Amino acid sequence: MTTRFFWYELRTTHTAAAQAFYATVLGLDAPAPSEDACLRLEGHLLGNISTLPERAAVQGAPPHWVGHLAVEDLEDSTATWTARGAQRLGPSRRGAHGGEVVFLRDPFGSVIGLTSGSTAETPPGLVWHELHTEDQRRASSTYAEHGGWQLTTSFSLGAELGSYQMFSWRADRLNVGGVVSSVRLPNVHPHWLFYFQVNDLELALSEVTAHGGYVHGTPREMPDGSRIVACEDPQRAAFGLKMSPGTTPSLSQ
């Protein structure tokens, strides 16, 4: 089974404020503010918002998005990851999507969730998955080996950042994300950064800042002509925005 991200969980310190921000800026729909409220984007289930676990907060973890990978056998996949150096973060629990989930810190420091029994596809509004790691080569090969992913093409980000290794889990080999080295970025911790599709990048960025969020740097142009940029919500959870080539800007997202 080829694994893929299919569910995205925002762990935050203020669920109501986070729901309001993402609803306004990206159009994520959710019921009235509540614990484990499910999120929809253009009618598709995308994930949920939950309170940042107390243990994580005490250890200094900031609000963050966690991606859930669909796996065939939860315990077998967990054992495989831990044998390669991943750290299991507590017992399994029932996720907002209804399946059992185990959270891990991968061998390179990023947190992921593993969920078995799901046949859901990656929601269409979540279009790019970017791993920031201090060991790009090993991280790329480990995820490719355990997930059945294909390492496709790479391109240079310059002398300071090195190469950007793209990957795919799709049968048509269409790229779904990339792996980038954070060795020379001391303020960037290992993490997965998830990008939402927008029709008008400049408008979306102005909405982010107007509603208390943050934009990191300027948009980067990818080899296919798309443009991406990293942001943070008002609680400082990181997320990304991506505008595809040929997209016609509109007055609303």
Write out pLDDT tens, residues 129-160: 999 999 999 999 999 999 999 999 999 998 87
40 and 108, same domain (yes or no): yes
Determine, yes or no, domain membership for 214.
yes
User: Reading across the β-sheet that carries 227-232, which strands appear in turn?
Assistant: 150-156, 163-168, 177-181, 126-133, 191-197, 238-243, 227-232, 214-221
Residue 249 lies in a domain: no
Number of structural domains in the chain:
2
Does 40 lie in the same domain as 144? no
For residues 88 and 154, membership in a common domain is answered with: no
Distance CA 210, CA 192 (A): 25
Q: Mark which of 116, 147, 176 sits at the end of a domain.
A: 116
Q: Which of 133, 151, 128, 132 is nearest to 141 (CA)?
A: 151
At residue 18, does pLDDT exceed 90?
A: yes
Q: How far apart are CA 18 and CA 237, in angstroms?
A: 9
251 domain-assigned = no
0.75 surpassed by pTM: yes
Is 65 part of any domain?
Answer: yes
Which residue blocks in the chain are alpha helix, DSSP H?
15-26, 54-58, 74-83, 136-147, 201-210
CB 63 within 8 A of CB 12: yes
Three-state DSSP class for residue 75:
helix
Cβ-contact 95, 89 below 8 angstroms? no
Q: Which two tokens stand for residue 220?
A: 């980067």
Query: Can you tell me whether residue 126 is helix, strand or coil?
Result: strand
pLDDT per residue over 43-60, tens digit each?
899 999 999 988 888 988
Q: Tell whether 121 is covered by a domain.
A: no
Residues 165 and 229 in one domain: yes
